[in-house]
Structure 1
Amino acid sequence: MRCRAIVAVRGSSWREEGRELRVSPGPVAGGAGRPEGAVVSGSGGLVLALGTVNQELHCRADRGLDYCWFRAPDGGHVVPAADRQELAAGLCRHRLGPVGPEHAGRWACCMGVAGRRAGDLVHRISVRVADSTLLAEASEVKVDAGGTAVLSCTTVPAGKTLSYCRFVSPTGRGFSFSEANRNETIMDRYQQSHGPLGQYRGIRVGVCSVTITAVHAEDYGKWRCSGVIQGTFAEGSDFIILSQEESAVNGISMAAIVGAAVGSATVIAVVVAFMWWVVKKKKRSNGHHNLSDSGSEHSSEVQLQMGELPSLASRFAAGTRQVSFRRRRSVHS
């Protein structure tokens, strides 16, 4: 999405989308003659609670601006009431009204330097609107059976202390964490997560998180995380799907598949070698002009061995299937 410049005469005003829009009068630093390269910064990814007021979106350039405007996620134009000193400092700001679903999506903050050949400078801002005070950090987590999974939800706004946080597993069993039991293991396998390298990420800083050690088949499915921000009464909730890694196909691990393939290749190699030996023996036998009784018996023996060839291949295939079945059982257990 490329921003197109909206240039207005300084000191003028006009109306757009029912709002009065003004451009500050007077000269502003950063016109023609400035270098084309620029450094821009501004608001990062935002997670906002439904109904939040006075939330600000902003962007900044390393040079003075002549104008600025925002493109909303629905494509609409928003031109904030410009402040000459802020524009001269390269700053552009816009305050949202009560946050609603229409504010969710990708915003573009466009900063204009009159006459800039490359067009407006652009800083993009991602906005996510939550209808709950607790939001999953990831809607889906994938991990192999027997591995370790971390499921986390955070408060909206971020960093708010929780009175408690609780989880409900796909089987319907529930458990909870508080500051008092932050180092305890619940139900033998569930622990409150503390973050990488000992960094604290717990309910005191608005994170409701559980580490599941040795993931079992019963752990796969929809998890619910819930919690209450201190000083409030409404419980916030969100859901996280725990699923198996794509490396496991229909419950059969890659190790089992590789094992079955190796077993099949071994059977084929043995069968081919045996057939080559039989053909070689038969050619030697046919090379003799005078066949004795013993030669006849040898020919019969060769025919008997050829007749047993399907039975030999079947026994090898059965052994391969048994190995594959054992590998599957070990994966599911």
Structure 2
Amino acid sequence: MSSLRILSVALAASLASACSLIPDYQRPAAPVPASFPNAAPAAAATPADAIAWRDYFADEKLREVIALALANNRDLRIAALNVEQARAQYRIQRADLFPSIGAVGGETAQRLPGDLSGSGEADVFRQYSATVGFSAYELDFFGRIRSLNAQALELYLGTEEARRSAQISLVAEVASIWLTLAYDRERLALARSTYETRLKSHDLIRRSAEAGAVSALDVHQSQQLLQSARADVARFSGFVAQDENALALVVGAAVPADLLPATLTDSVSAVAELPAGVPSEVLTRRPDVLQAERSLRAANASPIRQRLRHLELHSADPHPDLRGRPPEGESRRGRSAARHQRSAV
């Protein structure tokens, strides 16, 4: 009997694998040569995706600002919640591979009035019951459940790649705004220095005009240069304010003043150089490319895709549902608990 059962299980497994309609995914070949001339340094170069952002940005202030953005950015939180949602959906879909097991407990109470009782006292009769067992199980001979499970898995992995892509984009955006702020601060400092110089020069020319050494035209030209320098100070002050507001918006919180950049020279020198000869294979490891490939895999594993493939083979129904159910009257296998009777007045 045991050998017959093992043989039945093996036969069912072989039939399930033979009847599966899940198409095999094959990554398309890239329409470019595998290597290019003078590409020898590529083998010795460190892959760009292996360089962490903490290693690329050496400035400690910029590192702290990026870490602050990763902890507070709203869009990144939404991406992380989407990953949790996709993971939960995958777990729900994966549960269909196993039988559905349920448990039910109940209590029934009946009260018998004293005037109807033989003892003349009111009685309460209580009955407890509990059942446990499986209600239904679909035999996945044609791979419908497995294809849905594979589709949910690919969608979950694609959502994770989307989160990684959002994180990389956030790091790049924070660094870009931070460096732009350093550049505008340096221009503002130069504009203020120019304004101070123009102010001193204008005061000197004005005194010279009062002494008759220069003409009124020189005073007028000096005043124009002074007003132009003052306008530059106001313009660059607006740029700095816009950069600070944009940085606070991307970070998702107020950035402390001691974490803002001082000069552009120090900020640029704090960025590491990428190695030359990075192989083009790194493009296939980009999160956005991997997300697109996961979406393609999910579409390939979709039952609709299998149904279209089956229709090409002129078949009637690619996914007949074969569900196993307990016999009538035994939808829940188990034993009822012993009846318990208790009297109460």
TM-score (norm 1): 0.27
Question: Which has the larger share of strand?
Answer: 1
* RCO higher in structure (CA 8 A, sep ≥6): 2
Rg larger for: 2
TM-score (norm 2): 0.26
Question: Which has the larger share of helix?
Answer: 2
